[in-house]
Amino acid sequence: MDAKQISTYVSDIIEDIKNNGDKAIFKYLKNFDNIDLSKKGYRVSQKAIDDAAKRIPKQLKNVIKSAYSNILAYHKYERSQIKKRWNYVRSGLKIGQFYTPVESAGIYVPGGRFPYPSTVIMTAVPAMAAGVKRIAMVTPLKNMNDTVLFSAKLCGIKEIYCIGGVMAVGALAYGTKTLKKVDMIAGPGNVYVNEAKRQVFGCVGIDSLAGPTEVAIIADKDVPADYVVADIMAQVEHDLLAKTYLLCESTEKISEIEKLLPKKAFKQLKTELCSLSKAVDIVNNIAPEHLELLVKNYRILLKNIRNVGAVFVGYQTPTASGDYWAGPSHVLPTNGSAKFSSGLSVMTFLKRSAYIEMSKNNKKAYRAIADFAQAESMQYHKKSAEARYFLSSFFSKCKVKTADIYP
């Protein structure tokens, strides 16, 4: 389908969900997943969640817990660096800002070739750290395996729904009898999920419109070729739309890397021989999701990097470290959107509100407000200030009539 056809297709499903709720959900589950959940329902029971946790091998459970611990620590620290409120006094005004979390968030965990327990943690933990009270998770039934359910349990998620794609986004945005609507939807998905998020934006908030994964690698002449090959293939294995860029200063190193690289990777790889400083310019233009600085003197380059979702610094830091374990969320801007947006974080789930408090005797300010309102012919704005400038009963003496403004 082309973009117009996708838009229409998505719109029709969302409208159906909006009008028919669970009835539409059950219809699409039957059509797309060939399963009838009309009697059982599509919310995962607490027993199923608990049983999944029991089936996971202890070693794997400890690995997931270790990653969860790192990711939670990072986002708690991030939250501690954001002032809950601040203000200052100027010209008789007390002005400032304060942050509050959204009350509810829908976490979208994508389907695809593999289950993604890492995305559960990477998306839910920032919401937890922000203070979101209610988190609902959706993911396609085929990806609802034990590791996904255990990761959700670890994050304290009690609402888990085995639906994915457009219908999941529609249900989160507009609500059904089973799934109460949310205020924010976060998490990556395919082109249909992205279009659905785009269409419901305004009814709910969204984090971003994430496209296929991508990595740019700046490599010097001394980097071990095995590192580069492994990191390129780590992106390629996501899907056929993944993009990789190799920017290297050495012809010999490029040749060494290409000899080790499987042939299937070349379709998704763009290679350029260039200086390291030129590589930085290229990266800032591409604005990739991931950037690896596989160079010895990375600090010189790092200070000039402006447009990137996440930077992986030095020979010993593969993109996979951020995908699973390091701390920052792996939900990052793609398709050049790092030029104007950031990765998913605590800030994704926080709302910023302005605070304004005027003192009783600030006549100079009231006069300025009234004069500005007069310049825009906004008579009741003017009187709103003048009522405080003079007496509280002044408005009753106002000569402006409603009919003068609303003829």
CA atoms within 13 A on the CB side of 251: 0
Q: Tell me, what's the pLDDT at 392?
A: 47
Q: Tell me, what's the pLDDT at 406?
A: 43
Q: Tell me, what's the pLDDT at 340?
A: 96
> Is residue 75 among the annotated active site residues?
no
Catalytic residue among 290, 292, 330, 386: 290
Burial code (b: 16+ CB inside 10 Å, e: under 16) for 10-48 equals beebbebbbeebbebbbbbbeebbeeebeeeebbbeeee
Catalytic residue among 78, 214, 289, 292: 289
Q: Tell me, what's the pLDDT at 362?
A: 85
Enumerate the known binding-site residues for Zn(2+): 235, 238, 323, 381
Alpha-carbon distance of 53 to 153, in angstroms, equals 8
Distance set, CA 137 to CA 107, 153, 199, 354 (Å) = 5, 11, 20, 31
Q: Which residues are CB-contacts of 24 (< 8 A; sequence separation ≥ 6)?
A: 13, 16, 17, 167
Kindly report the backbone phi and psi dihedral angles of residue 357, in degrees, each rounded to the nearest multiple of 5, phi listed first.
-140, 120
Q: Tell me, what's the pLDDT at 402?
A: 45
Q: Which helix (H) or strand (E) holds 310?
A: strand 310-313
Per 3-state DSSP, the chain is made up of helix, strand and coil in percentages (nearest 5) of: 50, 15, 35
Q: Tell me, what's the pLDDT at 244?
A: 97
Domain assignments of the chain as residue spans, ordered by start: 3-207+347-352, 214-343, 369-406
Looking at domain 3-207+347-352, its CATH architecture is 3-Layer(aba) Sandwich (3.40)
- Residue 214 pairs in a beta bridge with 243
Q: pTM for this structure? A: 0.90
> Is residue 290 among the annotated active site residues?
yes
Supply the CATH classification number for the domain 214-343. 3.40.50.1980
Alpha-carbon distance of 378 to 372, in angstroms, equals 9
Which residue carries 């620290």 as its tokens?
77
Q: Do domains 3-207+347-352 and 214-343 have the same CATH topology?
A: yes
Enumerate the known binding-site residues: 213, 235, 238, 290, 323, 376, 381
Q: Which residues of the chain are under the pLDDT cut of 50?
A: 392-393, 395, 402-407
Enumerate the known binding-site residues for substrate: 213, 235, 238, 290, 323, 376, 381
